[in-house]
C-alpha cells in the first residue's frame, strides 16, 4: 500500500509514500488542525554529528564557519540498535523521518538504519536525508535514490560540490532532489547567483526545488547575521518566481513568506505555507535519543537536556504530552497573539526561542 491514512473526527491526513503528496484537514476539508493528538507526522532524527566540512576535494575539507552545531570530524553517532529502540517508540501515524547527518560516511550504520525504515513490517516509514554533497559518487547516489523519498544537498561556498551531487542523484532516478540554501546577510547575493545557475547549469536540470533556510543565531563558530527586512526577502522570492524556479522554505521562514504572499496578491498560496510545527506535528531527536522541539532548541533555556525517547514507557504520554512539551506548545500556539493588525496572524507562528523573523518591518 502506497498511502498512509489517518481518520478521526478532528484530525485527518492522507500521505502518499511514493509521490510525497500530503494533505491534512480537521472537522471539514477547510478546517486546519492546530496539532496532532496522535503524535508527530515527521521526526527529524540526527544520526551523526561527524562532519569534516566542505572543500574542493575530500582532502581539503574544512569545517563551515556558520555551522550552528559547530560539528567537526570527531562527533557522535546513533547506533542501529539505538535507532531501533527509538523507531518502535514512535507512533504509527509517523509518515517520514528526516535524517540529519554530516559526512555521508560519518555513521557506518546509515544504510541499515534507512533500510530498517523502509522494510519494517509494523510501520513502513519513508526516509529522507540532507547531505553536504561531499563523497556523493555514482554508487552512493544510486543507494540514496533506492531508499529515500527525497534528498537535499546543502549549497555552501563551493557550489560545484552541491551541483555535482544534484546531477548524480537526479541521474540515479531520484525525483525529489532539492538544494538547501542558507539565507543570511552574508549569503544574500549568492542566493541570486543560485537562481541564475539553475537557469544555466545543466547539472541542475533534474532539480526539484530550492529550499531557503533562515539563519538562526546559534553556534560557537557562527558569526553570520540575519537578512535585514521583509523587502529583501520578497525581492529574492519574486526573482525566483519570475524565473519559474520552484521554492520551498523551512518553518522559520514561513512568517516572511506569509507576508510576501499577502503583499503580492498571492493569498491563494497562504493555506499551503506551514509555519513552525515543532511539537505540533514534528519533533527532533538527537544522537543520544533525546527529544527536543527542534534541532535549534537543543541547549537553549529550558531545553539544556532533552526528553529521553528510549526511556519512555509510552511516547504519547511521556514525550508528546510531557509538561515541558506542553509548555513549548502553548508558547508556540500563542506566539502571534501580539501581532495586532497583521492580516496573516491566524496562519502564522513565530519561534519562542529566537527572534529571527522581523516580518513586522515594511
| Chain segment 81-124, per-residue pLDDT in tens | 999 999 999 999 999 999 999 999 999 999 999 999 988 877 88
Same domain, 8 and 112: no
Task: Give the per-residue pLDDT at 358.
Answer: 61
> 315 and 221, same structural domain?
yes
Instruction: Clarify whether residues 128 and 182 are in a common domain.
Output: yes
Is the same domain home to 105 and 20?
A: no
Question: Do 66 and 222 form a contact (C-beta atoms < 8 A)?
Answer: yes
Which range has the worst mean pLDDT, 1-5, 135-139, 188-192, 211-215? 1-5
To 10 degrees, what angle do helices 159-171 and 188-200 make? Answer: 40
Q: How many CA atoms lie within 13 A of 131 on its CB side?
A: 28
Look at residue 362 and tell me if it is in a domain.
no
Is residue 165 within 8 Å of 136, Cβ to Cβ?
A: yes
**How many domains are there within the chain?**
2
Give pLDDT tens digits for 249-285.
Answer: 999 999 889 988 988 888 888 888 999 999 999 999 9
* Model confidence band, residue 130 (pLDDT cutoffs 50, 70, 90): very high
**361 within a domain of the structure (yes/no):** no
Q: Are residues 69 and 132 in the same domain?
A: yes
CB atoms near residue 267 (< 10 Å): 12
* Domain-embedded: residue 359: no
For residue 359, name the pLDDT band (cuts at 50, 70, 90).
low
Classify residue 264: in a domain, yes or no.
yes
Q: How far is Cα 130 from Cα 169, in angstroms, rounded to an integer?
A: 12
- Say how far apart CA 129 and CA 136 lie, in whole Å: 13
Q: What is the mean pLDDT of residues 17-26?
A: 90
Q: Give the pLDDT confidence of 39-87 residue by residue, as tens digits.
A: 999 999 999 999 999 999 989 999 888 889 888 889 999 999 999 999 9
Residue among 198, 186, 275, 270 nearest 232 (CA) = 186
Query: CATH no. for residue 49?
Result: 3.20.20.70
Specify whether 8 is located in the same domain as 52.
no
> What is the structure's pLDDT at 362?
42
68 and 109 within one domain: yes
Q: Domain range holding 216? A: 36-347
Do 73 and 176 sit in the same domain of this protein? yes
Looking at the fold, whether 27 and 149 belong to one and the same domain comes out as no
Residue 303 CB coordination number (10 Å): 19
Q: Is residue 43 in a domain?
A: yes
What's CA 318's distance to the chain center, in Å?
24
Give per-residue pLDDT as tens, 282-315: 999 999 999 999 999 999 999 999 999 999 999 9
SS3 content of the chain, % helix, strand, coil (to 5): 30, 20, 50
Going by pLDDT thresholds of 50, 70 and 90, the confidence category of residue 360 is: low
| Spatial separation of the C-alpha atoms in residues 74 and 304, rounded to whole Å | 21
Domain for residue 352, yes or no? no
What is the pLDDT, as a whole number, of residue 173?
A: 96
Q: At what angle do helices 138-147 and 110-118 cross, to 10 degrees?
A: 30
70 grid coordinates? 559547530
Note whether residue 150 is domain-resident.
yes
Q: In whole numbers, what is the pLDDT of the chain averaged over residues?
A: 93
d(CA 88, CA 79): 14
Burial class (CB in 10 A: 0-12, 13-18, 19+), 74: exposed
pLDDT-derived band at 157, boundaries 50, 70, 90: confident
Is 361 a residue whose pLDDT tops 60?
Answer: no
Same domain, residue pair 238 and 314 = yes
* Together in a domain, 176 and 43: yes
- Check residue 88 and give its pLDDT: 95
Using pLDDT thresholds of 50, 70 and 90, give the confidence band for residue 357: low
Contact 117, 128 (CB under 8 A): no
Structural domain contains residue 357: no
φ, ψ at 290 (rounded to 5°): -105, 135
The CA-atom distances, in angstroms, between 188 and each of 184, 292, 310 are 6, 30, 41
Summarize the confidence of residues 334-341 as an average pLDDT. Answer: 83
User: Do 175 and 63 reside in the same domain of the chain?
Assistant: yes
Q: Mutual orientation of helices 230-243 and 188-200 as an angle, nearest 10°? A: 0
pLDDT score of 17: 86
In this prediction, residues 213-229 reach a mean pLDDT of: 89
DSSP state, residue 324: H
The bridge status of strand 12-16 relative to strand 22-25 is: antiparallel
Amino acid at each position: 500500500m502506497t498511502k498512509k491514512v489517518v481518520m478521526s473526527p478532528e484530525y485527518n491526513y492522507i500521505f502518499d509514500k511514493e509521490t510525497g503528496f500530503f494533505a491534512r484537514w480537521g472537522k471539514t476539508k477547510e478546517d486546519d488542525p492546530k496539532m496532532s493528538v496522535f503524535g508527530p507526522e515527521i521526526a527529524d532524527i540526527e544520526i551523526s554529528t561527524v562532519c569534516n566540512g566542505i572543500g574542493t576535494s575530500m582532502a581539503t575539507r574544512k569545517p563551515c564557519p556558520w555551522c550552528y552545531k559547530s560539528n567537526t570530524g570527531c562527533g557522535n553517532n546513533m547506533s542501529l540498535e539505538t535507532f531501533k529502540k527509538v523507531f518502535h517508540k514512535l507512533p504509527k501515524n509517523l509518515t517520514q523521518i528526516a535524517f540529519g547527518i554530516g559526512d555521508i560516511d560519518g555513521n557506518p550504520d546509515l544504510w541499515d538504519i534507512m533500510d530498517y525504515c523502509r522494510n519494517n513490517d509494523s510501520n513502513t516509514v519513508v526516509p529522507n536525508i540532507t547531505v553536504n554533497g561531499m563523497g556523493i559518487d555514482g554508487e552512493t547516489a544510486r543507494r540514496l535514490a533506492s531508499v529515500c523519498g527525497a534528498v537535499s544537498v546543502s549549497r555552501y561556498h563551493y557550489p560545484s560540490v552541491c551541483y555535482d551531487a544534484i546531477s548524480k542523484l537526479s541521474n540515479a532516478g531520484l525525483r525529489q532532489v532539492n538544494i538547501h540554501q542558507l539565507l543570511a546577510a552574508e549569503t544574500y547575493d549568492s542566493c541570486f547567483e543560485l537562481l541564475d545557475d539553475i537557469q544555466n547549469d545543466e547539472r541542475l536540470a533534474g532539480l526539484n526545488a530550492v529550499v531557503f533556510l533562515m539563519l538562526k543565531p546559534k553556534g560557537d563558530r557562527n558569526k553570520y547575521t540575519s537578512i535585514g527586512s521583509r523587502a529583501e526577502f520578497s525581492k529574492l522570492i519574486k526573482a525566483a518566481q519570475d524565473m519559474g524556479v520552484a521554492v520551498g522554505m523551512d518553518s522559520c521562514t514561513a512568517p516572511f513568506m506569509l507576508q510576501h504572499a499577502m503583499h503580492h496578491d498571492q493569498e491563494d498560496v497562504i493555506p499551503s505555507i506551514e509555519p513552525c510545527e515543532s511539537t505540533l506535528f514534528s519533533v527532533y531527536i538527537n544522537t543520544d535519543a533525546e527529544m527536543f522541539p527542534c534541532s535549534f532548541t537543543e541547549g537553549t533555556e529550558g531545553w539544556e537536556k532533552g526528553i529521553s525517547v528510549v526511556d519512555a514507557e509510552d511516547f504519547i504520554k511521556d514525550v508528546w504530552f510531557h509538561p515541558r512539551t506542553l509548555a513549548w506548545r502553548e508558547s508556540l500556539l500563542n506566539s502571534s497573539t501580539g501581532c495586532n493588525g497583521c492580516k496573516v496572524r491566524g496562519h502564522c507562528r513565530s519561534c519562542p526561542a529566537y527572534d529571527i523573523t522581523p516580518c513586522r518591518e515594511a
